[in-house]
Amino acid sequence: MEHVVNGFEPSRHFMDFHLAAFAYYDGLDVIDDLKLGAPVVLKAEPENSYDPKAVAVFFDDVKIGYVPSVHNYILSKLLYFGHGDIFEARIQMVRPDNHPERQFRVVVRIKDNRTNSSRQ
């Protein structure tokens, strides 16, 4: 199957967002390690009493915040049903002088699992 048509290949970008609730979790414990490009892990929290569609963001097993609720519906469903392995998430922006809700931005991309022989 041809993945690239006339030089066009779809973007792997799935979503990006400012990290929500950073000030309420343990981000300060790892703030010096939250560099541009640092990988983070997304975990669904269906037992969350505030929002059963909540998606927590972890860095080195430390909860640093959440995906904002306006962005979590589809992502939480995919994570809940075990499809988190299709994503890779990284710190996209670091601005320590901003308000805590605007200090970090995360990008979520779809992993490219095609073999090298199928890439154009």
Domain positions in the chain: 13-114
Question: pLDDT tens across 71-107, in order?
Answer: 999 999 999 999 999 999 999 999 988 887 889 999 9
Q: What is the dihedral of CA 84, 90, 96, 100, to 10 degrees?
A: -20
Average pLDDT score over residue span 38-59:
97
pLDDT classification of 1: cutoffs 50, 70, 90:
very low
The answer to whether 90 touches 39, Cβ cutoff 8 Å, is yes
- Residue 4: per-residue pLDDT: 61
C-alpha 47/C-alpha 93 separation (Å) is 29
DSSP 8-state symbol, 71: G
Q: Write down the mean pLDDT value for the chain.
A: 90
The topology under which CATH files domain 13-114 is Alpha-Beta Plaits (3.30.70)
Whether the per-residue pLDDT at 2 is higher than 60: the answer is no
pLDDT classification of 120: cutoffs 50, 70, 90:
very low
- Residue 115: per-residue pLDDT: 72
